[in-house]
Amino acid sequence: MTSIWKVSTIADSALERKASKDVSTQVEEEEEESFTVEQILDRVQYENGQVYYLLKWLGYDEEWNTWEPAENLDCTDMIQKFEHNRAMEKAARKMKNIKKSVQL
């Protein structure tokens, strides 16, 4: 009787480990699901230096836009283009302000 119990316990334990492994594999697969960034809408940098981007996701309405930390993103070209355009807009605003102050 004792040996049967031990075998049953070992078998149950092996089944539990397999079930646990199956669940963790499923969770990993869900975590690996990726989404495509359609557009970067905005940027914010916190006092601790961490940068977040407001993203529009391809195939999703604007209500699904999310703020994501830069280190989680894999769209380097899109980020560089966004940052370049942002810098150009900032320079244009600065020039416009300089022209206004010279005219005064």
Q: What is the pLDDT of residue 97?
A: 84
Return phi, psi of residue 4, to 5°: -65, -45
User: 11: domain range?
Assistant: 1-33
Q: Which two tokens stand for residue 30?
A: 């869900």
Residues 64, 90 share a domain: yes
pLDDT in tens, 18-51: 666 665 556 565 667 789 999 999 999 999 999 9
Same domain, 40 and 29: no
* Count of structural domains, the chain: 2
Residues 4 and 51 in one domain: no
Same domain, 52 and 91: yes
The verdict on 41 and 63 lying in the same domain is yes
pLDDT tens for 43-97 read: 999 999 999 999 999 999 999 999 999 999 999 999 999 999 999 999 998 888 8
In this prediction the pTM is: 0.62
Cα(16)–Cα(68) distance, rounded to whole angstroms? 36
**Alpha carbon distance 22, 34 (integer Å):** 21
Nearest Cα neighbor of 51 from 96, 95, 82 is 82
Q: Report the C-alpha gap between 97 and 69 in whole angstroms.
A: 32
Rounded to whole angstroms, the Cα distance separating 54 from 102 reads 36
- Indicate if 27 and 16 belong to the same structural domain: yes
84 and 42, same domain (yes or no) = yes
Domain identity same for 27 and 54: no
Q: What is the pLDDT of residue 46?
A: 95
> Interior CA angle at 80 toward 65 and 53, to 5°?
25
